[in-house]
Structure 1
Amino acid sequence: MGSLFPFRSDVDADAGSPRLVGIDEDAADEVFDALGSRTARRILTAIYDDPRPASALADAVDTSLQNARYHLDNLSDAGLVTVADTWYSERGTEMKVYAPANDAVVVFAGDDGTKTGAFDVLKRFLGGVVGVALGALVVQALLAPESLLPAMGTSGGSSGSGASGTPTASGGSGGFSTMDVRRTTTTTATTTSASGGGHGPLALLAEPGVAFFLGGICVLLVVATLWYVRTRRRG
């Protein structure tokens, strides 16, 4: 019977809603103190990228385990990180897994009205980003479904391919069907026209889902700005 260790479960980093900290609040002092070190800021960034224990965070930012734990304690006291799970090492030692305490943390300067308006804008914007991302997936699935599927192998051999490895229109059990040929041809044509025969950022921007997402983000930024300005004028 194999050992139960190491044990690492999937981390359910259920971060809370966005947090706004007024620059004149007591909490701001704790946040600034905790983030005063560049190492602490790198640790917090690594936690947002992927929740993990102190030892893994120390490796990620190239510091000692003792130093990583010191900064994690400060970040935890400031309410920036929280313990989301517990893993066990090969020796069965408990390891706390750190995750973000909030989806986002924003420090602002202004009165209570500014805080309320900024918080509403932040919540609306983050909710809109999620909606745009889901819409981008739908657009990509409808307009370019082949990009969401594993690449189809077309190597030569005995599976109904010609000498050059091109699928034939044979309807036999070992070959591609006519539909497969059309699908492969369509995929090749779409890829060629989108990327111009190459790969890179321009080819990625040609994807309909990516274009939809970037356009949606731009619209959200404009709407959020106009809504916030109008709210401030009414206040």
Structure 2
Amino acid sequence: MVSSIVKRAFSKNMITREDLLKLAKRLDIAFNCVVHFEALEEKRGYDNGKQFPAELYKGGIQKRLLDNWLSSGFNIYTLSDGYNFNAGLAGCEWAAFLRVRNPDAVVLRVYPKDRTAKAEHILCQLSSSLIYNFATLVPGKFDKVPDLCKQGFEVLAQGGAQGISSGLRILEALPPFELHGKRILCVVDALNLADTDSIAGDVKRLAAVLGRILARNNGHLLYTTAKAST
């Protein structure tokens, strides 16, 4: 009897990974999130012997990305379009390549599926995709905190300034990941499309939150920039 009471009291102060994933599911409906397969598992044929694009290898892009990945400790790197390559495509290929060639890595890549949307919506798309996929990396059970609640996810799903703020609080509230000794690389594509005067401060805050998340998980953060749609 006593043990069951203690168990119930303990459970009230805990939240499970499954609970968090259920809350995050509403974000996929609202913002067409990058799903788990695309973000964490997509290998683009490298597991069938595909080689890294020759133009990226010969242009030194692969070496730059590899040097960054092999650097010790937390690291932030930005890759922009070059004379003969697209940074977003390079990041996509690198993520798939690394998943196969380094199975001891967790490689997460997110991007806005609607690049013609307003800056606020793009920022919500990216924040929601990060939350949706980070949720798969948290421990099975962890301490319940106010910002990881149904209301916070509902506010984010509504978008706008309040949605952005709620998304940042949710990201900040996530516990350290359960990586089982694996290193993590997080690739964020096209964040620069949201970097307009109206929400430049929010973009900086998201970058700061991501930096703290990857730092406490001893990970690497790669930004790939994108050209604005005309």
Q: What band does the TM-score fall into relative to the shorter chain?
A: under 0.3
Q: TM-score, structure 1 length as denominator?
A: 0.22
Q: TM-score, structure 2 length as denominator?
A: 0.22
Instruction: Name which structure has the greater RCO, CA cutoff 8 Å, separation 6+.
Output: 2
